[in-house]
Structure 1
């Protein structure tokens, strides 16, 4: 593989880790770059290889959050187990079918999300304690299964969807949502990695250097998010959602 390709992939991976640490969606940066630079590789090989830097960056970001943000470990343990299994199944399906049919649906979901977040100024600014324990567990199961499968099957934007689930469904503020989302995202990445390693789809020549760069970006991004707080994360969330819309809009209408 050409050296300049690896350099460009590493640059994309750094920015992906930075964005992903704050609100998720880092895959929206490094996935299209990888597909453009390596058009002869299968989608499964690219997605599988990118799980390594994604896991690395999420790990470093999660460690930063762990030091500053209190987490609900009982709830997270359940979500991580379910998300791992769902991501494994989603990646298994990716090896045999195309995922293009999901993009139009996601495009319109994201439009609604962007409008709602923009209009509701207090969205994700404080925690909502109104859910009972049973309701919280039920919602957590649904989020874990759906988003976990999505991450294994499609991937880009998973962190943002997890943040959305924690904020809009479970009632977390943006800071706690980002912290908890990182832990679940680790499980989805690991589930996919296990499947892709079994299938021999990971190309370590660019996955390893990208992992170091993604980790550095994740470390910096998490520290910035913790320092700036909910208002900053909300604005960044809107920015990433709009970029996601543009990306999916291109795939749906122009590609």
Structure 2
């Protein structure tokens, strides 16, 4: 594959911004995957998804390490969720060539609308921790929701995964947004890895391009994680609302364009 320098520069810039957004609140795929689709409109979807996964795992790994140096992680909850997420994302990636992502977009839009209403209706959600919510039953629910359902979605489509994970940790376990982001990034590494392994085995990864974009996402992720830690949960909440609205607009346009055609 031959690329001109201007196209590479645009993709690297998109990856840098995607890494920052993803580290703060999730949804970096909203920037990165569409950039790949615009750059290669005739490439197979699975190939673009696999390349996106390679770039994404570079960024999520750096942001997870950056958060872990500052935020205390609940390991007894986290590692079972990570194990489930590996399998869930792998299953989603395996299904990516058999299931139309277009058919799933209205469902994702409905979920995003519910997230938007929830966050706006509860302005204090995620601003301060609520330890009383951390029961065994809620922890089990988080493992299933994050490790199976959200991970499967990440392997299948991807954009918005970090948002869904973050909202699950805040609403079900009472984490503040920054702590939720720290746990989200660790799970996100697993979902990206599970999907990447399957796409790689299928031959659906552009390795050089993915690694070049990955270097940019690492820089963006490092900056984003440090920004979220420094600015706090109130800042993360604002970015969350902005990204949800942008993702709704993007998916809504896709559904409308498909309906018109």
User: Shared fold (TM-score greater than 0.5)?
Assistant: yes
Cα distance per residue 1:47-78 (max 9 Å; x no partner): 00111110000111111101110001111100
Superposition TM-score, scaled by structure 1 size: 0.97
2:151 aligned partner: 148
* Partner Cα separation in structure 2 for residue 109 and residue 150 of structure 1: 12
1:97 aligned partner: 99
Q: Any residues of structure 2 matched to 1:53-202 within 5 Å, and which?
A: 53-128=55-130, 129-202=132-205
Superposition TM-score, scaled by structure 2 size: 0.95
**1:205 CA drift (Å):** 2.6
SS of alignment partner, residue 144 of structure 1: helix
1:2 aligned partner: 3
- After the TM superposition, list the runs of 4 or more consecutive aligned residues in structure 1 that deviate by more than 6 angstroms: none
1:52 aligned partner: 54
Structure 2: gaps (5+ residues): none
**1:109 CA drift (Å):** 1.8
Tell me if structure 2 keeps the 8 A contact 1:140–1:170.
Answer: no
* Partner Cα separation in structure 1 for residue 240 and residue 65 of structure 2: 21
Over aligned residue pairs, what C-alpha RMSD do you find? 1.1
* Partner Cα separation in structure 1 for residue 70 and residue 181 of structure 2: 12
Structure 1: gaps (5+ residues): none
* Partner Cα separation in structure 1 for residue 106 and residue 205 of structure 2: 28
SS of alignment partner, residue 74 of structure 1: helix
